[in-house]
């Protein structure tokens, strides 16, 4: 059975569960929420459903029920590598099943077939001022391809069917996913490598091809595979996932939805934090002439950052209450990679890990003083020569697309409603509080 048939079977099995919950148990309360949650970004209000990943505050992310180490261990590996195919991970996210080598190969072949970036996208990228942020370029390239949406075309021709429209979304998502690595690579080479480009190598998988197209070494192929998988999904309430879902809930197609999600990822409190981490640590290293600082010097620098009203980038999280396992996974990669282990920037990041949590605890504001994914990811990129830190969020975006596109395929399959939470006025909240 091919991926689409497996997915159809899963969808047919899942639909009655959702219908039953709404029809027979729709009045059952899920929870209660407070004024602080209403004003504070809806934090902790359970108003989204996804089966693709779940974020436990203490344990961290599970993809389809599996922890990060379990996921890496279970998926079929690229021959000659300890890391799995990104394509197999896509299969897992969509179906909940660990694919066989043959099932993985089906996605590898399908994405290769779809990977050609249309010339008009290249023209649009080239027409943008060269100093445009790479995330603006990435988002523009995605939305430009909206004219190719199969979902939008069929909808406009009156062929919308609630039961089968997920199939058009599925096709759109595969085409889009296949093109994201070549688009990212094009932006990278155009902006930072003298506008010289490297064509895709049809013998390589998605992650390896990205490494190849940006002009990277063989070792970086594993970095790309790891990076895209680690950044893929973090359940559906984070800004990029929620935005993609929200826009899709208006029956907007995958192109509109993903482009919107990417715009959310570009914010400094979300995906851009990995750029901020690198800027912050590099500035610090530069001031010290490349020397790793003492703990005391670092503590002072952290307080200076906090006292000037800035956040410590890469630390804290809206849901997590312990060290992000995505941080740990990348830290282990550094510790196991000769050269990286003793790299001054890694040593500094490791030292920040020793010092920052205590500083944040003393500061007393952040609910989670531990590092998140962004605190570690830039060091690995920098070590391999991807030193253009404004590009890091594009890497995040390619990975994040795996999660959000799998989610919106399921949104269509289960017919999730258009989102429309209710607003209140400040006076209404004062009344609820009994102060009026
Ligand atoms: N440094 C300094 N202050 C911090 C902080 C940090 N790293 N993390 C949180 N705080 C502050 C908040 O700004 C907030 O202050 P105010 O009360 O003055 O507004 C207070 O602590 C409480 O915030 P919180 O409930 O702990 O955290 P939020 O859910 O509001 O925000 C996050 C979460 C990630 C935006 C925040 O921790 C932060 O700004 N971290 C730094 C940026 C970062 O690393 N972002 C990447 C997140 C990972 C991802 O992209 O998924």
> Average pLDDT of 201-211?
97
Say if 436 falls within a structural domain.
no
Residues with Cβ within 8 Å of residue 33, at least 6 apart in sequence: 44, 45
Which pLDDT does position 415 carry in this prediction? 97
Say if 230 falls within a structural domain.
yes
Atom of ligand 1 nearest to the CA of 315: 7
> Average pLDDT of 338-357?
94
Length of the chain: 436
Is residue 374 in contact with ligand 1, taking CB distance under 6 Å? yes
Q: What is the rounded distance in angstroms from the CA atom of residue 101 to the CA atom of residue 37?
A: 45
Which pLDDT does position 242 carry in this prediction? 98
Q: Whose CA is nearest to atom 27 of ligand 1?
A: 318
Which pLDDT does position 292 carry in this prediction? 83
Phi, psi of 298 (to 5 degrees): -70, -40
Residues with Cβ within 8 Å of residue 56, at least 6 apart in sequence: 62
What's the token pair of residue 205? 């998988």
Among 68, 50, 48, 52, residue whose Cα is nearest residue 60:
68
- Whether residue 386 contacts residue 398, with contact meaning beta carbons closer than 8 Å, is answered with no
Which pLDDT does position 403 carry in this prediction? 98
Which pLDDT does position 286 carry in this prediction? 84
Q: Which residue range forms the structural domain that includes residue 242?
A: 1-30+48-420
Going from the Cα of 107 to the center of ligand 1, the distance in angstroms, rounded, reads 38
- Whether residue 99 contacts residue 91, with contact meaning beta carbons closer than 8 Å, is answered with yes
Which pLDDT does position 84 carry in this prediction? 98
Which pLDDT does position 34 carry in this prediction? 98
pTM over 0.90: yes
Say if 277 falls within a structural domain.
yes
Question: What are the pLDDT digits (tens) for 125-181?
Answer: 999 999 999 999 999 999 999 999 999 999 999 999 999 999 999 999 999 999 999
Say if 383 falls within a structural domain.
yes
Say if 36 falls within a structural domain.
no
Going from the Cα of 317 to the center of ligand 1, the distance in angstroms, rounded, reads 6
- Compute how many other C-beta atoms are within 10 angstroms of the C-beta atom of residue 106: 18
Going from the Cα of 432 to the center of ligand 1, the distance in angstroms, rounded, reads 28
Question: What are the pLDDT digits (tens) for 267-314?
Answer: 999 999 988 899 988 888 887 777 888 999 999 999 999 999 999 999
- Residues with catalytic roles: 270, 317, 374
Question: What are the pLDDT digits (tens) for 75-114?
Answer: 999 999 999 999 999 999 999 999 999 999 999 999 999 9
Say if 40 falls within a structural domain.
no
Radius of gyration of the chain (CA): 22
Atom of ligand 1 nearest to the CA of 314: 44
Among 141, 133, 183, residue whose Cα is nearest residue 391:
133
- CATH number, domain with residue 113: 1.10.580.10
Which pLDDT does position 284 carry in this prediction? 81
Of 18-22, 225-229, 291-295, 298-302, minimum mean pLDDT range = 291-295
Going from the Cα of 311 to the center of ligand 1, the distance in angstroms, rounded, reads 7
Q: What is the rounded distance in angstroms from the CA atom of residue 3 to the CA atom of residue 15?
A: 18
Among 261, 256, 269, residue whose Cα is nearest residue 402:
261
Which pLDDT does position 143 carry in this prediction? 98
Which pLDDT does position 305 carry in this prediction? 92
Atom of ligand 1 nearest to the CA of 373: 48
Which pLDDT does position 290 carry in this prediction? 78
Provide the ipTM: 0.98
Say if 430 falls within a structural domain.
no
What's the token pair of residue 10? 């899963």
Among 297, 293, 283, residue whose Cα is nearest residue 275:
283
- Output b/e per residue, 340-359; b: 16+ Cβ within 10 A: beebebbbbbbbbbebbbeb
Q: 320 falls in which pLDDT band (50, 70, 90)?
A: very high
Q: Whose CA is nearest to atom 32 of ligand 1?
A: 317
Say if 215 falls within a structural domain.
yes
Phi, psi of 162 (to 5 degrees): -55, -30
Which pLDDT does position 289 carry in this prediction? 79
Q: Whose CA is nearest to atom 30 of ligand 1?
A: 318
Bridge partners of 62?
Answer: 54
Phi, psi of 224 (to 5 degrees): -60, -45
Among 171, 172, 110, 119, residue whose Cα is nearest residue 141:
119
Question: What are the pLDDT digits (tens) for 392-421?
Answer: 999 999 999 999 999 999 999 999 999 999
Q: Whose CA is nearest to atom 40 of ligand 1?
A: 316
On average, the pLDDT of the chain sits at 96
Q: How much of the chain, in percent, has pLDDT values that exceed 90?
A: 94
Instruction: Count the domains in the chain.
Output: 1
- Whether residue 83 contacts residue 77, with contact meaning beta carbons closer than 8 Å, is answered with yes
Which pLDDT does position 80 carry in this prediction? 96
Is residue 182 in contact with ligand 1, taking CB distance under 6 Å? no
Q: What is the rounded distance in angstroms from the CA atom of residue 47 to the CA atom of residue 295?
A: 43
């Amino acid at each position: 059975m091919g991926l689409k048939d497996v997915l159809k079977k899963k969808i047919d099995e899942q639909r009655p569960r959702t219908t039953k919950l709404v029809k027979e148990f729709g009045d059952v309360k899920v929870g209660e929420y407070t004024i602080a949650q209403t004003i504070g970004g809806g934090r902790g209000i359970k108003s989204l459903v996804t089966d693709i990943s779940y974020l436990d505050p203490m344990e961290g992310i599970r993809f389809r029920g599996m922890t990060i180490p379990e996921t890496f261990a279970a998926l079929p590996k690229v021959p000659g590598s300890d890391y799995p195919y990104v394509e197999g991970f896509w299969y897992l996210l969509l179906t909940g099943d660990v694919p066989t080598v043959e099932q993985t190969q089906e996605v590898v072949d399908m994405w290769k077939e779809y990977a050609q970036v249309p010339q008009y996208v290249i023209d649009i990228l080239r027409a943008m001022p060269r100093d445009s942020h790479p995330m603006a370029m990435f988002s523009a390239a995605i939305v430009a391809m909206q004219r190719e949406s199969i979902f939008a075309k069929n909808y406009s021709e009156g062929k919308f069917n609630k039961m089968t429209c997920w199939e058009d979304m599925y096709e759109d998502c595969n085409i889009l996913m296949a093109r994201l690595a070549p688009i990212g690579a094009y932006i990278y080479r155009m902006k930072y490598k003298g506008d010289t480009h490297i064509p895709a190598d049809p013998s390589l998988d998605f992650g390896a091809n990205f490494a190849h197209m940006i002009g990277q070494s063989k070792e970086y192929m594993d970095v790309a595979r790891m990076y895209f998988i680690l950044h893929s999904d973090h359940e559906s309430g984070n800004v990029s996932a929620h935005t993609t879902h929200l826009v899709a809930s208006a029956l907007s197609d995958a192109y509109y939805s993903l482009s919107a999600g990417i715009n959310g990822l570009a914010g400094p409190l979300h995906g851009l934090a990995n750029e901020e981490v690198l800027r912050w640590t590099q500035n610090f290293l530069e001031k010290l002439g490349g020397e790793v600082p003492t703990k005391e010097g670092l503590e002072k620098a952290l307080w200076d950052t906090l006292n000037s009203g800035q956040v410590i980038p890469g630390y804290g999280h809206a849901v997590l209450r312990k060290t992000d396992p995505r941080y740990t996974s990348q830290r282990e990669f550094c510790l196991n990679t000769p050269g990286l282990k003793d790299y001054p920037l890694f040593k500094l990041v490791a030292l920040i890990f020793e010092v920052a949590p205590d500083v944040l605890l003393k500061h007393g504001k952040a609910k989670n003083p531990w590092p998140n994914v962004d605190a570690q990811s830039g060091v690995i990129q920098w070590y391999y020569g991807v030193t253009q830190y404004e590009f890091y969020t594009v890497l995040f975006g390619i990975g994040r697309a795996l999660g959000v596109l799998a989610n919106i395929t399921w949104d269509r399959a289960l017919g999730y409603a258009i989102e429309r939470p209710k607003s209140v006025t400040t006076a209404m909240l004062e009344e609820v509080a009994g102060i009026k």
